[in-house]
Amino acid sequence: MDTRGHAPASLLPRPMRVARVVTEMAGTVTIELEAGAFAFAPGQFVMVSSPGVGEVPISISSDPDDGTPLALTIRAVGATTAVIAAVSEGSWLGIRGPYGTAWPDIPEGDLLLMAGGLGLAPLRGAFLRALRAQERIGRVILLYGTREPGMILFDRELLGWMRQTRAEIHVTVDQAHPGWTGNVGLITTLLERERLDASNTTAFLCGPEVMMRLSARQLAALGVSPSRIHLSLERHMACATAQCGRCQLGPLILCRDGPVVRHSDVGRALGIAEL
C-alpha cells in the first residue's frame, strides 16, 4: 500500500474544544478540554498544537479515573506555549496522543512522591490514585518544592489534601516573606525528617532534572532501591513517535521509553552532561 502523503492516524491531531481555563499563577494555566472518550494513564503526555503556531509536549494533569475533563497544565515559556496558555474557553487545540510510559501501578508498600515546581502536574493523577488506594497500601507521602509561596501549584487543592486526607504532605520553598510559617530550603531537606522504611518504599519523582538527580541520590543513600525510584524525564520531544531521535537519552528514546523511567535504568546517563 502506498502511504506517501498520508500521515499515520497517531500523528493526526484531534481537535478538542477548550472547556475551561484555570489560572494557576502568573503565566501558568490549566486547560480543561472536551476530549470525549480519551484513555490515558497518569504520567503520560500529549502533543498539543495551535494551528499555524507550533506543537509542544505537555503532561496530563488530570485523573483518568475520576470522570473529570482531560486537563493540561501549561506554563508560558516560549512562543508556542505562550499562545497555548493564552487560549480562551470555546477555542480549539489539536491533541495527539497520549504517548509514553506511565507511573507504575500504586505499590502495596509506602509511596513517596516528590514534585518540584510544575512537576506536581504529571504526578497529580498518580497521587489521586494513591489516595483512593490508601486503605490497602502503606504511607502516602507528598513532598513539594517550589520557588516561593506564590508559585505553589494547585495550592487550594493541596490545602484540601492536607486537611481531608491521611496523606503526609510537606511543602518547601526557596524563599519567602515573613508570615510564611512553612519550610524554606531545598526539597531534599524535607526528606531528612521523613523516617522512611527504605525497603518498603517506592518513589515517584517529577521536577527539574537537578532536583530529581539530587533526590534520587539521597533516596538511594537512604536505602531505597534505584529500581523503585521512578523519574519523569523531559527532553525535547518533537515527534512523540520515536522517529526523530530528538529526545534520545543514551539508549532510550524518551517519548517512547519515557517520560517515566526507573532510576536504575537512567542514573548513569543522567550523570553524563553531554546527554
Partner 1 sequence: MIVHPVEDLIREHALFAETGPEIAGLLASCARNVVFRDGELIFKEGETADRLLLIRSGRAALETSIPGHGNVIIQTVKTGEALGLSWLVPPYLTDFDARAIGTVRAVSFDATCLRAKCESDPRIGYAFYKLMIPPLIGRLRTARIQALNLYEPTADPNPA
Q: Which residue ranges make up the site for partner 1 (CB under 8 A)?
A: 27, 54, 56, 75-81, 116-117, 145-147, 151, 174-178, 180-186, 189, 193, 207-208, 210-211, 214, 235-236
Pick 133 or 214: Cβ nearer partner 1:
214
* CB of 82 vs partner 1, minimal distance in Å: 9
Q: How far is the CB of 2 from partner 1 (least distance, A)?
A: 33
Burial of residue 162, with CB atoms counted within 10 A of its CB: 0-12 exposed, 13-18 middle, 19 or more buried: middle
Here the cell at position 153 is: 501549584
Q: Which is nearer to partner 1, 61 or 146 (CB)?
A: 146
Judged by CB, which is closer to partner 1: 111, or 205?
A: 205
Smallest separation (angstroms) from partner 1 to the CB of 272: 15
Least gap, CB of 16 to partner 1 (angstroms): 19
Give the largest CA-CA distance in the chain: 68
* Cβ distance to partner 1 smaller for residue 11 or 77: 77
Query: Three-class SS of residue 85?
Result: helix
Contact status, residue 82 vs residue 166, Cβ threshold 8 Å: no
Q: Which is nearer to partner 1, 98 or 207 (CB)?
A: 207
Cell of 97: 496522543
C-alpha grid cell, residue 194: 521523613
Distance separating alpha carbons of residues 29 and 25, to the nearest angstrom: 7
C-beta of 194: minimal distance to partner 1 in Å? 13
Q: How far is CA 83 from CA 48, 76, 159, 198, in A?
A: 11, 8, 30, 44
